[in-house]
Structure 1
Amino acid sequence: MTLKPHVAINVSDLDASVHFYRHLFGEEPAKVRADYAKFDLDEPALNFTLNVGGEVQGGINHLGIQVGSKEEVLASKERLQQAGLATFDEMDTSCCYARQDKIWVTSPDEHRWEVFYVKEDIEQQEKSNCCTSA
C-alpha cells in the first residue's frame, strides 16, 4: 500500500498562490485549471491542492516542511528570497520539544509555513510561544 497525505487549502488568488507554492516546494504544479492547482510531490510525499474560493483562514496554526539539514533550510530560504518572498529566520531555537533551525514564510492568503531541521529532541520548552513568532 502506498500512502500519500492530501492537503487541500482554499486560496483567494490562484496565480499568486501557485507562484508562492512553486517556490516553496521547488517544483511545478502537476495540474492547473482556472480555479484549481495540484502539486503532486514525491519528496515529501504529498498531494497538495489549491482551491479558489471559500474561507481561506481556518483553524490552521501553521504548516511545515521538515528537511534533513540546516543546509536544506538555507537553500529553501535562498530559493524563496530569489522569488521575491520575505522569510524570517529562527536558527537554533527550541520549539515543539526539539532544537531546530528554521525559516518562516507566509503565503498570499496568510498561511504560515516553516521549513525546519530538527537538530535534537529536548525535554523542556524554552519559550511558551512556540510556532507563533512568525
Structure 2
Amino acid sequence: MKRMHLHVSVPELEPAIRFYSHLFAAEPSVVKGDYAKWMLEDPRVNFAVSARGAPLGLNHLGIQAEEAGELDELGQRLDAIDADVHEEMGTHCCYAQSDKYWTTDPGGIAWESYHTLGSIPMFGAQDEGTGDCCVPEGTSTVSCQPASDNEAKGCC
C-alpha cells in the first residue's frame, strides 16, 4: 500500500511541531534539529516539515511506496506519460536512504516517488559536503505568493 507524502518548509521547527502535533492529535515519529515527520494512519500520510532555509511553504509532494515493486510501478507510470524523470537510487536524504524518482507536474510542483531502504543519522549527503538533498536541481517547486493583500484571502 502506498502513502501520500507532503513536505513543508517552515521558518522555525518547534512552533511547526506544536501546531501539527495538535492538528493531527499525534506526536512526530521522527524529530531532528531541523526536521520532523509524522507517519499518520488517519489520514494515511507521511507529513514532514523542515527548517533548512528553503523557501517557505510547500516543498514537494510525493508517494511513498512500501515495497520496491510499488516503486517500479510508479516509475512505469511516469514513463508512460513521458514525464521528465530524475532517478536517484540509494540516495541519502531526510534522514533516510531511499530509491527515488523525481518529476515536476504541469503546474511546476515537484513530485517524489520513493521507497525507503533504511534510516541514516544525518539529513543527507550535503551534511558531508557532497551535494544537495531533496528536490533535485532542475525539478522546480511553486509556492502560493499573492501579488496583493486582496489575492491573499483567496490564495491556494
For normalisation by structure 1, the TM-score amounts to 0.53
Query: Deviations 1:90-119 (Å, cap 9, x if unpaired)?
Result: 110000011000101111111001011110
Counterpart CA distance in 2 for 1:95 and 1:67 is 16
| Alpha-carbon distance between aligned partners in 1 of 2:116 and 2:77, rounded to the nearest angstrom | 20
The runs of at least 4 consecutive aligned structure 1 residues that moved more than 4 Å come to: none
CA distance in 1, matches of 2:84, 2:68: 19
**Residue 62 in structure 1 maps to residue 60 in structure 2:** yes
CA distance in 2, matches of 1:105, 1:65: 12
Distance 1:132 1:64 in 2: 11
Match in the other structure for 2:125: 126
Unaligned runs of 5+ in 2: 7-42, 46-55, 140-156
From 62, 76, 79, the counterpart of 1:78: 76
Partners in 1 of 2:88 and 2:61 — Cα distance?
15
Aligned residues between the structures = 82
CA contact (8 A) 1:95 1:126 kept: yes
For 1:106, give the aligned amino acid. T
Q: Distance in 2 between matches of 1:127 and 1:74?
A: 27
Q: TM-score, normalised by structure 2?
A: 0.46
Partner Cα distance (1:63, 1:111) in 2 = 7
1:115 correspondence with 2:113? yes
Q: What displacement does 1:45 show?
A: 4.4
Give 1:1-134 correspondences, 5 Å limit. Answer: 45=44, 59-124=57-122, 125-128=124-127, 129-133=132-136, 134=139
2:57 counterpart SS class? coil
Quote the sequence identity (%): 34
Structure 2 distance, partners of 1:126, 1:117, is 18
* Alpha-carbon distance between aligned partners in 1 of 2:113 and 2:135, rounded to the nearest angstrom: 14
Unaligned segments of structure 1, at least 5 residues: 8-43, 47-57
CA contact (8 A) 1:94 1:127 kept: no
